[in-house]
Amino acid sequence: MTAAPAAPAAPAAPAAPAADPAVVRAAPPTADAPTSADHLIAASPLPRAEARRLLEQASGRRREWLLAHGDEPLDRPVSEHFLALEASRIKGAPLAYLCGEREFYGLTLEVDQAVLIPRPETELLVNAACERAPPGATVLDLGTGSGAIAIAIAVTRADLQVVATDRSGEALAVAARNAARHGLAPNRLGFRTGSWWQAIAPAERFALVVSNPPYIADTDPHLAEGDLRFEPRHALASGSDGLDALREIAAGAPAHLAAGGWLVVEHGWDQGAAVRSLFLGAGLEDVHTQHDLAGHERLTFGRAQ
Ligand SMILES: C[S@@+](CC[C@H](N)C(=O)[O-])C[C@H]1O[C@@H](n2cnc3c(N)ncnc32)[C@H](O)[C@@H]1O
C-alpha cells in the first residue's frame, strides 16, 4: 500500500513520539527518594494523558484513584514499571501494545504484537457489514487479526453467525480471547486457520464476506515509521504493489459468495481503481467504492451474480 497525501495509507496510527535521545525525564527518581504519581507524570516527557495511562497500567490503579492519591509515595516496583513503559514509549512503542488493549467500535480489545492495532477507519467496514448482512446470515471475515471486525459485527448484530480466519495462529489466539471477553460463544463466532480461501471448505458460501487485508507495498517507506515498525509485517505488507492479498480475495470470492452476496474490502486511499478492476475481473457486479471521513477511497463493494 502506498502513502496517503499526509499519512500512511495503512490504517492511520496515532503518532508515536520520536525516538529522540534528547527526550529524557527531567529528574529520574533515585532509590532513596520515593516518588508520587503527580511527580512522575509532571516530570515525564510524554504527553500528560499518555503518562497517566502508562501509570494506570504500571500501578493497576484506575485514573480516579491516581487523581485522588496523586501526592502519596508509590511503591518502588510501580515507579520502576512505569519508567520502563515510559522508556519504551519514548522509543516509539505503540501505547496500545504497552497497555495491551485498544478500543474499537466501543469495545475494548486485547492486542499484542501478534496482531494489527485496530484502526478507527475500519469501523466503516463494520458499519457496511451490519447494514448489508441479511437477517440470520453467516458472515465471513478474512484476516481477522485481533478479531476486531468479526467481534464488532457479532456484538452489533445478534442474529448473525460469523466465521473469522487468519493464517497466524498467534493472532487467532488473541482473537479467541477477545471473543470470550465479549461473550461470543463458538456458535456465534468461529475461527479457522489458513491462508485466505484455503481456510474455507470448497463448497462453503456466505451471504457477506468482509476483509481488511494487508495492503501496503513491500517497499513502502511508511513501514519503517511510527507504529507500523512494531506491527507484524504480514499484517501490513502484501507484495510489490500491496495488492497480492486483495487479488487473491477478489479472485476466490465468486466461488464462496451466495447468489447476490457482497464482498466488501478495505484498501489504501489510492487503490480504489485497482480494486474495482480486480472485482470486475473476478465477475462481481454493482462494483463501487466508498470514501472514508477524510475523503479517501477506502472500501470497495462487489456483488456475486
Ligand atoms: C491489516 S490486518 C487486519 C486485522 C483485522 N482484521 C483488523 O482490521 O484490525 C491483516 C490480517 O490478515 C492476516 N493475513 C495476512 N496474510 C494472510 C493470509 N495469507 N491468509 C489469511 N490471513 C492473512 C494477518 O495475519 C492480519 O491479521
Overall average pLDDT of the 102-111 stretch: 98
129 with 82, same domain: the answer is no
Best CA proximity match to 125, nearest among 95, 104, 107: 104
123 with 68, same domain: the answer is no
Ligand 1 nearest-atom number relative to CA 125: 8
pLDDT tens track for 109-143: 999 999 999 999 999 999 999 999 999 999 999 99
Overall average pLDDT of the 225-250 stretch: 98
Residue 291 lies in a domain: yes
218 with 119, same domain: the answer is yes
**Higher per-residue confidence, 101 vs 33:** 101
Q: How far is ligand 1, taken at its centre, from the CA of residue 92, in Å?
A: 23
- pLDDT at 13 (0 to 100): 36
The proportion of the chain whose per-residue pLDDT surpasses 70, expressed as a percent, equals 89
142 with 75, same domain: the answer is no
The distance in angstroms from the start CA to the end CA of the chain is 29
- Residue 27 belongs to what domain range? 19-91
- The answer to whether the CB of 136 falls within 8 A of the CB of 148 is no
Paired sense of beta strands 138-142 and 161-166, if any:
parallel
Amino acid at 258: A
57 with 146, same domain: the answer is no
50 with 118, same domain: the answer is no
- pLDDT at 34 (0 to 100): 67
Is pLDDT at 75 greater than 50 in this prediction?
yes
Q: How far is ligand 1, taken at its centre, from the CA of residue 241, in Å?
A: 17
Residue 36 lies in a domain: yes
- pLDDT at 33 (0 to 100): 61
Contacts of 67 (CB under 8 A, 6+ apart): none
- The Cα 125–Cα 300 span in angstroms is 10
pLDDT tens track for 21-61: 446 665 555 555 669 999 999 999 999 999 999 999 999 99
57 with 170, same domain: the answer is no
pLDDT tens track for 136-162: 999 999 999 999 999 999 999 999 999
Residue 54 lies in a domain: yes
- pLDDT at 3 (0 to 100): 38
pLDDT tens track for 163-202: 999 999 999 999 999 999 999 999 999 999 999 999 999 9
Overall average pLDDT of the 91-120 stretch: 98
CB 196 less than 6 A from any atom of ligand 1: yes
Best CA proximity match to 116, nearest among 233, 218, 197: 233
- pLDDT at 5 (0 to 100): 33
Ligand 1 nearest-atom number relative to CA 11: 1
118 with 57, same domain: the answer is no
Residue 237 lies in a domain: yes
- pLDDT at 8 (0 to 100): 37
Q: Whose CA is nearest to atom 20 of ligand 1?
A: 195
Residue 296 lies in a domain: yes
- The answer to whether the CB of 66 falls within 8 A of the CB of 56 is yes
CB 174 less than 6 A from any atom of ligand 1: no
Residue 140 lies in a domain: yes
**pTM of the entire predicted model:** 0.91
Residue 239 lies in a domain: yes
269 with 122, same domain: the answer is yes
- pLDDT at 7 (0 to 100): 35
**66-88: string of b/e by CB count within 10 Å (b at 16+)?**
beeebeeebeeebbebbbebbeb
- pLDDT at 65 (0 to 100): 94
Site to probe by mutation for ligand 1, drawn from 107, 116, 165 as the one with most ligand atoms within 8 Å of Cβ, is 116
Residue 10 lies in a domain: no
Number of domains within the chain = 2
162 with 294, same domain: the answer is yes
35 with 165, same domain: the answer is no
pLDDT tens track for 210-220: 999 999 999 99
Overall average pLDDT of the 71-75 stretch: 93
CB 116 less than 6 A from any atom of ligand 1: yes
Residue with cell 445478534: 158
C-alpha cell, 289: 467504492
76 with 121, same domain: the answer is no
Last residue of a domain, one of 91, 124, 142: 91
